[in-house]
Amino acid sequence: MSIESYLDAIPKVELYIRLEGAVGSDLVLLIAEQNEVSEGLKHFNTWAGFVQKPDYDRADEIIKVVSQWPRQPEDLSRMAYNVGTYLSKQNVRYTEVTVNPALYGELQIPLEQFFAALNDGRDRAERAWGIRMNWIVAIPREEPRRADDVVRFALSAAGRKAYVVGIGLVGKETSQPVGQFERAFASAEKKGVPQTAVAGEMEGAEGIRKTVETLNPTRIDVAWGLANAPDLMKLLQESETPVNVSMARALKTKKIAAYKDYPLRKLYDEGVVLTLSSDMPAFYGTTLNEQFRIAAKDLGFSAEELEELALNAVRASFLSEEDKVAMLEVFREEFAALRAEHLEAQAG
């Protein structure tokens, strides 16, 4: 068994994956066809082409347009099942999927119905493949007025019943001052609802700093520029704030020329609690397994170090402590069994 095969086989948790950008292109185009989107959308063929071959400079625009194509609740169900199936094939046992209901304007359904549709697909994926899926409800930075509504839903009995385990701030940091979301994050923290925030994409380390100091999120997503700020790395290391890195995003948006340029080793050596993410895998053309293989092949991480990153994802999840302990035990047992198999294959 090669190191690549070993990494493909180990159990994993995926904590930063966006529903918008994770659904396979075949299903996205099928949904558009069945809803006759082409009849009402100017330049439909151009947008359909972006589904298969994205223009990364127009990422936000493409996501906004394509998210209008689901028109029926069952479209959401198929999307959730598609993502669950895709992740299960990579030995992902648990995932927290970030979803932005504000993007799906053509559906015109309340949040309870929106998540009921998603959970139909979620439940089918769990029955078929054993993967557990929970939801992070996104607050778009462009629309701070939605923040209170998102938090209220996450706090409600309906939200908990819908497998919503947290809130997440997404979008361009330059859209609105981060202080616009301080009340919503403080309310969520007070009520015990975990929070995530995308930071660093536009403003680098300064954007991360403002987000951490103002919102104090439970986790940080993307965190581009963190490696350039020693004091900020130390702060996150000391507070044990997990960081979900998105190497594929950095590559596709030309922040790095090649994966070998991503400062993953520097972050790891500084003691930052890291997890690997696929972010928007269909959009960026990657998989979580590929991200693990890249960390080994291009960045020199050992199998033991990558096992630790996989365990970090369990610890950083919003599962109950009891569930985390049980999952950590299962993961360690499977790591040991796979290592034994690997050594046996090498000896043979």
Rounded CA separation 258/229 (Å)? 21
Helix (H, G, I), strand (E, B) or coil at 131: coil
Q: Check whether 166 has a pLDDT greater than 70.
A: yes
DSSP string, 185-235: HHHHHHTT--EEEEESTTTHHHHHHHHHHHH--SEEEE-TTGGG-HHHHHH
Q: Which sequence spans correspond to the domains of the chain? A: 3-347
Q: What is the structure's pLDDT at 343?
A: 73
Please determine, for residue 117, whether its predicted confidence score (pLDDT) is greater than 80.
yes
State the average pLDDT for the chain: 95
> The tokens of 198 are what?
């995308």
pLDDT attached to residue 348: 60
Of 226-230, 335-339, 344-348, where does mean pLDDT reach its minimum? Answer: 344-348
Helix extents (H) in 35-110: 44-52, 59-66, 73-88
Percent of the chain surpassing pLDDT 90: 93
Q: Grade residue 148 by pLDDT with cuts at 50, 70 and 90.
A: very high
In this model, does residue 51 exceed pLDDT 70? Answer: yes
Label residue 258 exposed, middle or buried (CB < 10 Å: 0-12, 13-18, 19+): exposed
Count CB atoms within 10 A of the CB of residue 94. Answer: 21
- Tell me the mean pLDDT in the region 148-172: 96
Euclidean distance between CA atoms 17 and 4, whole angstroms: 22
pLDDT tens by residue, 183-215: 999 999 999 999 999 999 999 999 999 999 999
Q: Is residue 90 scored above 90 in pLDDT? A: yes
Q: Can you tell me the distance from the alpha carbon of 73 to that of 251, in angstroms, rounded to the nearest whole number?
A: 34
Q: What is the pLDDT of residue 347?
A: 67
> Which of 190, 99, 109 shows the shortest CA–CA distance to 150?
99
Domain 3-347 sits in CATH at 3.20.20.140
Tell me how far CA of residue 41 lies from CA of 3, 46, 66, 314, in angstroms. 47, 10, 11, 42
Q: DSSP class of residue 109?
A: -
